[in-house]
Structure formats: C-alpha cells, structure tokens
Structure 1
Amino acid sequence: METDILEQLKPYFERLDSRMSSCFASHMPFINEITGHILFAGGKKVRPLLTVLSAILCGREEIDEAYDLALVPEYLHAASLLHDDVVDDGKLRRGKPPAYTIWGNKATVLAGDFLYARAIELATRFEDIRIARVTAETVALMSEGEVMQLLHSKNPDFFDEQTYMDIIYRKTAALISMSCKIGALFAGADDTRVNALSNYGLCLGKAFQMIDDLLDYTADTKEFGKAVGADLAEGKLTLPLVYGLSIASPKEKSEIFLILKKDKHSPEELAWIKDLLETKGAFKYTKDKAEELIRIGCNGLDIFGSSETAGILKRLARFVVERRK
C-alpha cells in the first residue's frame, strides 16, 4: 500500500520540488547552503502536499499558486528541524548529519530564522489575512511546544498523557492542520469544509507524531533516517513511555525514573526499558490511539463525497499509521 500511494502522489512531489528549487533562495549563498541541506535531503513532504490536495478538494481548478502556498508549511517544518537538532543535540536527520554539526549552532539557528521569515512573507502574498494569521499562530504554537517539551525533559514525575497531547498538538499537529486549512482558505471553501480539513489535519498530525514516537523504539535506523532510540536517550517523554509508566509497578517506575534522570544511559538500560514497554502493551496502545485518530479525521472528510482527492487523503492517512520510516 505504501508504494502504491507514494507512486500515485509522485507527480505532486515532483512539482513541489520544482517550485521549492525556484522559490527558496536567499541572496546569500551561505544561507542557501544550510537551508538546502534540510530542504533537499528527502523527507516525506506531507505538509505541502496536504495544502495542494486541500485546495483541489475544495474546488480550486487552477492550482499553480497553490504550490507556492504549499511552501509555507514546508519552510516552517524545515526551520523547526534546524532549530530542533540544535536544541536536542540530534545526531542524524533524514539519514544525514544535521546542519549544526557542519556549520555550527549559530549559523544553523539563523538559517532557521530565515526560513521562518520566508514562510511568513510567502503567506502574506495571497491577500487573505486568514492565511497570514493562521501561519503566525502556528509558528507561536510550535515554539510553545518546544518550550513545553524542554521544560518536561527528564522530569517524568509530573508528566501525563494530557501533557503529551498538549505538546504534540503544538509541535506537530498544529502545522499539519494549518497545511490543510490554508489550502481550503485559498480555494474559498466555506467554514464547514475549512473546519473538516483543519480537523483532518489535526488528527493526522497527532497520529503522525504518535507513530513517529513508536518508530523511535521499533524502526530500523537505516529506514527511519534518524537514530532509533534517540528520543528515549534524550529523556523525551513520548506516548509509549507515558503509558508504560502509568501501568508500571512502583519498583519498575522507580527504576525507569532513575535511568531517565541520568546524563548518559547504557544500551542495556535503554533495551530494558524498551522490552518492558513492549511487555506492558505500550506499543499496541500507541498504535491503537493513532488508528482511532485517523478514523475520526477521515470520517470528517465524508462531507466531500467520494471524490478522487478525498480518497487520496484517506489513503495518505492510512500510510501515516502503516509507515515504517
């Protein structure tokens, strides 16, 4: 199924790559070098694709400008990745060394700032204040999500599932929801359709992050494109761990806390946590939660009928929960 949907979407991806190549450039080659390192390093490009598909679904027949608009979420996403790797001391990004390991923290953060500014500038070109407003609101939410995660890092004592949901809403789901919403706004859709696509994106974004967190425990590093177990080693409290802690015995919970609060963890310690979470059903719980979100989001698309584009969006949602990287 994964191969089928990606092959069907290949023309969209090729057109997105073409627009990105012609639009992203700064007047400073050094900035282009850093931003190009993340923008053209592969990646799924789900966010810009959702903008284009949402515009088509809402009846926009001429979609050249939709591809320009689609660069807004992609630039925001790339900027966040540049910043995240600096904050998290990431070791691998899309199968390559992260930018900060090549150009340093200062240059990488500033290049991320450029992409944020470029995205906001692009969002203002369409003379629809709603597109500019939701873009700015999303940048603020993403920043809040990073701060929330930073404050809770390695502090599992006061971290629960609701806190996790609040963080992934801001860090991931808000941007994916925005990707859909601006496409619908661009197409002139009514509030009912705008809200349906926004909610689809919200559900898709939360499910996407849950599966990403699950893959941190279960994926193959070469397929995943980043180091497996990195979230756990960094003390990030993702859903498998949060659920596992909620049902662990007092002794198991105490041992997990002791490991997480260390500056460095042995492979044996991390493997013990992984095995414990699998035994407790944490991986199945995470997958089931993601599946339920996808069901809710896709059901909301029924107002569009059985159109080809609605079908693509539903298949894309299935791809998100079935992917292995």
Structure 2
Amino acid sequence: MAAPRAGTARPSGDAEALVRLARPDMVEVDRLILERMQSTVPVIPLLAEHIVSAGGKRLRPLIAVAAARVVGGERLADAHRFAAAVEFIHTATLLHDDVVDSSELRRGKVAAHLIWGAPSSVLVGDFLFARAFELMVETGQMRALGVLAHASSVIAQGEVLQLTRAHDLKLDEETYLRIIAAKTAELFAAAAEAGALGVEAPEGAVAALRSYGLNLGLAFQLADDALDYGGASETLGKNAGDDFREGKVTLPLLIAMARTAGREDAFWRAAIDDGKRGDEEFRRARELIIGTGALSATLDRAGAYADAAKAALRAVPASPWRAALADLADFAVSRAA
C-alpha cells in the first residue's frame, strides 16, 4: 500500500471541536456502552469497566457519530448503536493485544491481564465482541453489519500477520503498511462507513467517509509509531519504547535500518533477533532513529495520510462537523510532532 505524496508544513489540530459537537450523541453512546457491558458474572463488568473507562476520547465511536452527522443525519439511534459496537470491538482487540504482547500499561492504567489474568482478559474480550454484534443486529441494517463484521475479520487477520512477522528484520514497508491498515485503519474506516450507512447517506458520501477513516487510521498509527521513540508515557498511554522492547518492527525502525545498512546491522540483529532490548539499547535505537531522520520521515508519511483524509472530506457538505473531522486529521499527526 503506497503512501500519498507527503506535504511539507504540518498544520496543528485537536479533537476538542469534535468532542464538543458530539457530546449529546456520546451521552447516548456511553449509556449503551455501560448498559451492554453488564453481566451477572461479576468479573465481566469489572474488567470491562477497567479498560472502557480508562480515559481516551473514544475516537472510533466519535467518528461513527460524526460520519452520521456530517451528511445531515438526524435520526441517529442506529448510528449510536454502531458507535457503541465499534467501541466494544476496539476494546476487545485491546484486551487480546495486551495478552499477546504482554503489555504492562493500557491507556495509562495497569493492563487488565496483569490484574485478572490472561484467560479472563481474552474471554471478556470475546464477550465484548458478542455484545457488539448484538447491538448491530438490533439495527436490522445488514449492510452496515456486514461492514463491521468484515472489519472484525480484517483486524484478526492483521493481528495474525503481525504475529507471524514479529522480530522480522526482513519485513518490508509494504507489508508493514498492510499490517497497520488491517489492525488499525480498518476499524476507523468501518466506523465512518457504518455511521454514514446508519443514516442512509448517499453512496458517494459513504465511500468518501470510508476513505477518510482509512487514511485517518493510517496517519494515527504512524504517529503512534513515531511517538514510541519520541513521546512520553503520558502521551502514549503506555511506556515509551514498548514497541522496541517487544521487538516490534515499525516504520521508524524500518527506515532507520535501511539508512544505517552496513554500519549498524549487528546492533539491529542483537536488538531484534537476539532480544537485547534494555534501556541502553533503546537509547541507542532512539538516537539512530532520530539521527537518520527516520522519525521525521515517519511523521511526513503520517502527514500525507492525514492530507488524504482531509481531501476525502470534500465530498461532503461544508459544516462545523466537516471542519472538526479535518481538525482531527491534523491532530492525529500534530500530537506526535
């Protein structure tokens, strides 16, 4: 998957305008989330609440709501259900990811599997997937249900592809972009598409909003990749350097390896292949990634995807909602700058 051509200047942005506009809708979405994560099995709501309430702006359900609103949708009951379902799908994948990656933090809190154990985390993730599909079935909108069902399949395939290429120094950029398109960007795209379908938006708008979500998701993930080497735990919601310590080969590392080929091969092999990934090795990797320009190159690539996301919005009418979605695309990158 090739990136759009990168621009030069990166405008700043934030998510606050979108949060303000969507607040009345998100009250209903949050009500649905709280209601549907309940169970007579006590550990389920306890564990689900631990991660669902752990901060964050709920970007994916926000995008679903905004996609419905930006096309003029007014009867949003189905869009609210899709938004809640998107959050459950996302939360389920986080629970599963943290077990697979042995992560210690999630959204700034101790990872659920360290409190309740890996089996409970995986099974509660399964419970949330099931709740998501119950919400979707209630809408009776089979096309939107199909979009989110397909997204769930794509995400799982992306997870498996990433797992099979873990610690792989021969990973190429095209394959890496396929992984993040599946793991991250697909749910952004499906959230926007389902939100638009939920209010019966015109086909052109549905396609444009899907494109917006896909490009936004790619920008968001690449900025996260950069943040792992240039950010702080407070910004990330996880420990800075976690990707490196887990041996994940992300775009900044791929670019740095290419630019230091023949000079630092032994270091990269020791770190990624042999597992020598302590604090000293992280500092050295960070120096190489920043020094070779790999960090700024990653942010340029993220910026290009953000620009593509904003370009897709030209297909929907100008409004405060469209402006807020454009600001969100800028924010996806500027938070890592």
**Paired residues of 2:228 and 2:240 also in contact (CA < 8 A):** yes
**Distance across 2 between alignment mates of 1:9 and 1:252:** 49
**Distance across 2 between alignment mates of 1:245 and 1:195:** 37
**Distance across 2 between alignment mates of 1:310 and 1:6:** 9
Is 2:259 aligned against 1:238?
A: no
Shift of 1:151: 1.0
**Paired residues of 1:224 and 1:324 also in contact (CA < 8 A):** no
**Paired residues of 1:294 and 1:318 also in contact (CA < 8 A):** yes
Gaps of 5+ in 1: none
RMSD (CA atoms):
1.7
**Paired residues of 2:15 and 2:327 also in contact (CA < 8 A):** no
Between 1:169-178 and 1:217-226, the stretch displaced more is 217-226
**Distance across 2 between alignment mates of 1:3 and 1:307:** 16
Amino acid at match of 1:122: L
**Paired residues of 2:18 and 2:325 also in contact (CA < 8 A):** no
**Distance across 2 between alignment mates of 1:294 and 1:222:** 23
Q: How does 1:293-304 map to 2 (within 5 A)?
A: 293-304=305-316
**Paired residues of 1:75 and 1:115 also in contact (CA < 8 A):** yes
**Distance across 2 between alignment mates of 1:228 and 1:316:** 23
Q: How does 1:177-188 map to 2 (within 5 A)?
A: 177-188=189-200
Is 2:87 aligned against 1:81?
A: no
Higher relative contact order (CA 8 A, sep 6+): 2
Q: How does 1:25-104 map to 2 (within 5 A)?
A: 25-104=38-117
Q: Secondary structure at the match of 1:119?
A: helix
CA deviations on 1:201-243 (whole Å, 9 max, x unpaired) are 0000001100111111111113322111000111111110111
**Distance across 2 between alignment mates of 1:44 and 1:16:** 13
Is 2:215 aligned against 1:203?
A: yes
Match of 2:7 in 1: none
Between 1:87-96 and 1:219-228, the stretch displaced more is 219-228
CA gap of 1:19–1:317, structure 2 versus 1, over 3 A, is same
**Paired residues of 1:92 and 1:98 also in contact (CA < 8 A):** yes
Amino acid at match of 1:305: P
CA deviations on 1:77-134 (whole Å, 9 max, x unpaired) are 0000000000000011111110100111111100000011111221122112111111
Shift of 1:65: 3.5
CA gap of 1:7–1:108, structure 2 versus 1, over 3 A, is closer
CA deviations on 1:145-197 (whole Å, 9 max, x unpaired) are 111111111111x2011011000011000001000000111111122111100
Amino acid at match of 1:36: E
Amino acid at match of 2:207: N
Between 1:312-321 and 1:259-268, the stretch displaced more is 259-268
Match of 1:116 in 2: 129
Shift of 1:135: 1.4
Is 2:151 aligned against 1:163?
A: no
Match of 2:266 in 1: 254
Match of 2:8 in 1: none
Amino acid at match of 2:72: G
**Distance across 1 between alignment mates of 2:282 and 2:87:** 33
Shift of 1:324: 4.8
Amino acid at match of 1:198: R
- Percent identical residues: 37
Amino acid at match of 1:19: L
Gaps of 5+ in 2: 1-12
**Paired residues of 2:68 and 2:76 also in contact (CA < 8 A):** yes
**Distance across 2 between alignment mates of 1:227 and 1:136:** 32
Amino acid at match of 1:144: Q
**Distance across 1 between alignment mates of 2:70 and 2:40:** 36
**Distance across 1 between alignment mates of 2:121 and 2:333:** 31
TM-score (norm 1): 0.95
